[in-house]
Amino acid sequence: MPTLGGRFRAAREARGLTVSDVAEHIRIRSVYLGAIEDENWALIGAPVYVRGFIRTYARYLNLDPEEAVAAFNAQSGELPPGESLAAPAGLDAIHASAGRYRPSPLLWIAGLIALVMIGFVVFSYFTLSRQAPTVAVTPLPSASPLPSASGDLALAVPSESPSPAAAASPGATPVPPELLSHSLEVHFSAPSWLRVVVDGNVSIEGTFPAGTVRRFYGKNATIRVGNAGGVDVLVNGASIGKLGGNGDVIERRLAL
């Protein structure tokens, strides 16, 4: 009775194939196919790889793969440890080993931690992007009117100066009525970032505390606030209220 390797060699030669022809079709290296025909099991390695290659080679030659594996087990004295894993076609011993790998729980934990950290970074980025930039400026020391590039006056009033709409405090100097025309007045009830452009010129930009009052003069003004709920706006002495809610970044163009 032919040996196991002889049966493989006879079946291959009966089909007129070389070892290289078979290796190209089933993607198993010809050195391993030759080892099967020569019954040089040590060249292939662990018995699990031998069984896998035997099954693949047997199926290609129309031999009974399980009968061939049983013959190998009887010849080598190796009993399969409850497994019937066949090496997939097109893989050599290294690929067959990799196919049985399963990631450890530590890898799953590390991946979960990485996802949490990525989520935190994304959340922080979108939270910070909603906040307006803070630019430190030096408060204007004088309440004197300053000429703008357009020839109109832009006046920054110190925070202690009362607004025309507010009740005059004891000792405060009322604002002359003629100064209320073409005016923009900003009152801070909470800290906020502010930028005011009057007639195309940036009149002021920075972050101001609660209680600050600023007044500007011109024909047109664009005001942008970083905390709309903490800023009251008056145009020509008439209050238009707050431009938005707390934390809202609002920009408004006003005719004075």
For 175-231, what is each residue's pLDDT tens digit?
666 667 889 999 999 999 999 999 999 999 999 999 999 999 999 999 999 999 999
Give the C-alpha separation, 167 to 128, whole Å: 38
Mean pLDDT computed over every residue of the chain: 78
Rounded CA gap, 121 and 253, in Å?
Answer: 35
Most distant pair of Cα atoms in the chain: their distance: 124
Tell me whether residue 249 is in a domain. Answer: yes
Domain closes at, from 99, 125, 157: 99
**Residue 167 pLDDT > 90:** no
For residue 125, being part of any structural domain is answered with: no
Q: Which domain holds residue 49?
A: 4-99
Torsion of CA 199, 201, 207, 211, to 10 degrees: -40
Integer Cα distance of 87 and 182 in angstroms: 87
Q: Is the pLDDT of residue 142 over 80?
A: no
pLDDT at position 127 is 76
The total of structural domains in the chain comes to: 2
What's the confidence (pLDDT) of residue 111?
Answer: 85
- The residues, ordered by sequence, that sit 6+ positions from 17 with a Cβ below 8 Å of its Cβ are none
Are 63 and 150 contained in the same domain? Answer: no
Q: What is the pLDDT of residue 131?
A: 59
The better pLDDT of the pair 219, 161 is held by: 219
25 and 85 belong to one structural domain:
yes
CB atoms within 10 A of CB 192: 23
Q: Residue 71 sits in a domain of what CATH number? A: 1.10.260.40
Give a yes or no: residue 110 inside a domain.
Answer: no
Which secondary-structure segment (H or E) carries 24? helix 19-26
pTM of the model: 0.33
pLDDT band at 147 (very low <50, low <70, confident <90, very high): very low
Give the residue from 86, 77, 91, 67 showing the smallest Cα distance to 8: 67
- pLDDT for 30-82, tens place per residue? 999 999 999 999 999 999 999 999 999 999 999 999 999 999 999 887 665 55
Identify the residue with better confidence: 66 or 123.
66
Distance CA 256, CA 253 (A): 10
Q: Is residue 132 one of the residues assigned to a domain?
A: no
| Local structure of residue 178 (DSSP, 8 states) | G
- Position 163 scores a pLDDT of 46
Q: Residue 71: which H helix or E strand, with range? A: helix 65-76
Q: Residue 78 and residue 82: Cα distance in Å, rounded?
A: 12
